[in-house]
Amino acid sequence: MDMTIERLGGSFAARVSGIDAGNLSNAQAAALHQAYLDHKVLVIEGQDLSVAQFDAFGQLFGETVEHPVKNFLHPDFPKVMVLSNSTRLGKPLGVKDAGSFWHSDRSYMERAADATILFSIEIPDEGGDTFFGDMEAVYDALPEKTKARIDGRQYVSQYRWSTNRGDPESRWNFLMPDELEKTPPVVRPLVRTHPETGRKGLFVFPGVSAGVKGIVGMDAVESADLLDELFDHMTRPEFHFQFKWRDAGTIVLWDNRCVMHRATTKNLPPDKVRTLHRISTLGGVPA
């Protein structure tokens, strides 16, 4: 069967059919990489992969990297992290919520993530959808005046920094001492140029993981107003694609260099069991 690609969202996201992700030819792997650059989010259903095969699939998209939060790494494949809201003997089996707020993975690390790849193990009959936002479409649709204000500008980000120190998801409550130490502030461009396609996209995110402290060279009020304007713009549904997980055996992967995403698992009821495996690949310093 030949590989086919079908667009799912308005400006981005596609379903890839006709491949076995555990057994790709070199030509198929190259075509898949091109589809990832063209469509930014790929959905591949009906896959039967062992953890070892999923681990190997992840390596097609770069050097796989351990998550900075270490408690739910797969015991045999530490680059594979377990996301799950299920428990055994009262103990969680995985990360319950990977971020029910708009973010891009590792955007707060010196070297951010390129791809993130999820593989479904167990999916509830409802709930747990994943939302994506096309940050290049977001950038393109900005008023020219705003583009001129943000091109070449930088902001400071620190993992889970928040104006609300009491937030249970903020760094002071969420991270272990060594994790705090390994996440110093980083300086990021507001507009990122994709290193492989040369396209420009907005690269700042409202979620707590991005911990945006402010825009470099602007006073606090001006910076907060501009960030509000950008966050309001990027959260308009016209830029989004909502993915509803249907079955086990689905791979969803995306390009964090030009896509933001959010989970919806924060308030998933315990009887709606959702378990996924997850891999990210190490990217460069955003520029």
Cβ nearer to ligand OGA, comparing 98 with 191:
98
Neighbours of 264 (CB within 10 A): 15
The answer to the question of residue 83 lying near ligand OGA (CB under 6 A) is yes
Nearest approach, Cβ of residue 47 and ligand OGA (Å)? 17
Amino acid identity of 183? T
Amino acid identity of 113? A
Among 13, 43, 105, 250, binds Mn ion (CB under 5 A): 105
Nearest approach, Cβ of residue 99 and Mn ion (Å)? 5
What does 278 interact with, of ligand OGA, Mn ion, none (CB < 5 to 8 A by kind)? ligand OGA
Give me the DSSP letters along 30-86. Answer: HHHHHHHHHHSEEEE-S----HHHHHHHHGGGS-EE--SS-TTB-SS-TT-EEEE--
Q: Nearest-CA neighbor of 68 among 182, 167, 206, 160? A: 182
Cβ nearer to Mn ion, comparing 94 with 99:
99
Nearest approach, Cβ of residue 81 and ligand OGA (Å)? 8
The answer to the question of residue 105 lying near ligand OGA (CB under 6 A) is yes
The answer to the question of residue 99 lying near ligand OGA (CB under 6 A) is yes
Query: What is residue 142's three-state secondary structure?
Result: coil
Q: Going residue by residue from 232 to 271, which x/- string records binding to ligand OGA, judged by CB under 6 A?
A: -----------------------------x-x-x------
The answer to the question of residue 116 lying near ligand OGA (CB under 6 A) is yes
The DSSP output letter for 275 is E
Q: How many residues bind ligand OGA (CB under 6 A)?
A: 10
What does 83 interact with, of ligand OGA, Mn ion, none (CB < 5 to 8 A by kind)? ligand OGA
Instruction: Tell which positions 121-140 bind ligand OGA, by CB under 6 A.
Output: 130
Helices (H), the chain: 26-39, 51-58, 135-140, 144-150, 171-174, 177-181, 220-234
Q: What are phi and psi of 59, to 5 degrees?
A: -70, -10
C-alpha to C-alpha distance for 125 and 127, rounded to whole angstroms: 7
By the criterion CB under 5 A, which residues form the site for Mn ion?
99, 105
By the criterion CB under 6 A, which residues form the site for ligand OGA?
83, 98-99, 105, 116, 130, 261, 263, 265, 278
